Amino acid sequence: MKIWNYGDDINTDMLFPGKYTYSCSTAEEIRPHLLEDLDPEFAGKAAEGDILFAGKNFGCGSSREQPVVGLKAIGIKAIVAKSYARIFYRAAINQGLLLIDCADAVDAYKPGDSVSLDLDKGEIIIGKKSFSFPKLPPEILKIRDAGGLLAYTREQLKK
């Protein structure tokens, strides 16, 4: 498992450049361009189970959901950031991608630290310290736990 560590105000153009928004929609098309203008190594090296750390206002800017779709397809276990832009946050719920809101954990993390998650307790453990993070409200958790909004919507439509 690798930890990717980035700064503040990482916008959706850095996560997935606007010039590809109308030529790439599927996870396979998106993946090679993920984080292209931020970290050219990411797309080739990121793997299932990796965790991404970032500062404040992660995912600000455009409403494009390709960054979330791409990160989910890679199997990124969670993003841990000081705060998120709201459309990105909603997009992550809708794709079933785990976002952890925890400024203290981001401040505590130093390259080389071990990182693990205890989702039942709502804790992130960095080195020997653990930090709790807020859980989503139950009505929203239902969407993420169904595997995302489309899966949830299909369940509802069948009722």
Partner 1 sequence: MGKTFAEKILAVKSGQDEVVAGQIVMVRPEHLLTHDNTAAIVGKIKDDLKEYGVARPDMPVIVLDHVVPAADEKTATNHKTIRQFVSDYGIKNFFDAGCGICHQVLMEKGFAVPGSIIVGSDSHTCSYGALGVFSTGIDRTEAAALLLRGETWLKVPETIRITLTGKLKPPVSAKDLVLYIIGKLGADGANYCSVEFHGETSSLSVEERFTIANMGVEMGAKIAVFPVDQEAEEYLASVGVDRSSYEPVWADDDTVYIRDLKFDLGNLEPVIARPHTVDNVSPVSKEKGMTFDQYFLGTCTNGRISDLRSAAKFLKGKKIAQGIRLLVLPASRDIFETALREGLITIFSEAGAMILPPGCGPCLGAHQGCLAPGEKCLSTANRNFKGRMGCKEAEIFLASPETVAASAVKGSLADPREEVQS
Residue ranges binding partner 1 (CB under 8 A) = 9, 11, 13-14, 17-19, 21-23, 25, 36-37, 56-57, 60-65, 68, 83, 85-87, 90-91, 94-95, 137, 139-140, 148-150, 152-154, 156-157
For partner 1, which is the closer residue by CB, 62 or 78?
A: 62
The DSSP call for residue 130 is E
How many angstroms separate the CA atoms of 151 and 104, rounded? 33
For partner 1, which is the closer residue by CB, 53 or 126?
A: 53
Least distance between partner 1 and beta carbon 5 (Å): 18
For partner 1, which is the closer residue by CB, 72 or 77?
A: 72
Least distance between partner 1 and beta carbon 142 (Å): 10
Return the beta strands (E) in 6-108 as ranges: 51-54, 78-81, 99-101
**Which residues partner with 99 through β-bridges?**
79
The tokens of 103 are what?
């400024």
Least distance between partner 1 and beta carbon 90 (Å): 6
How many angstroms separate the CA atoms of 99 and 79, rounded? 5
For partner 1, which is the closer residue by CB, 13 or 50?
A: 13
Least distance between partner 1 and beta carbon 154 (Å): 7
Least distance between partner 1 and beta carbon 19 (Å): 4
Residue found by looking up tokens 């203290």 in the block? 104
For partner 1, which is the closer residue by CB, 114 or 156?
A: 156
How many angstroms separate the CA atoms of 19 and 11, rounded? 14
How many angstroms separate the CA atoms of 137 and 147, rounded? 16
Residue type at 62 in one-letter notation? S
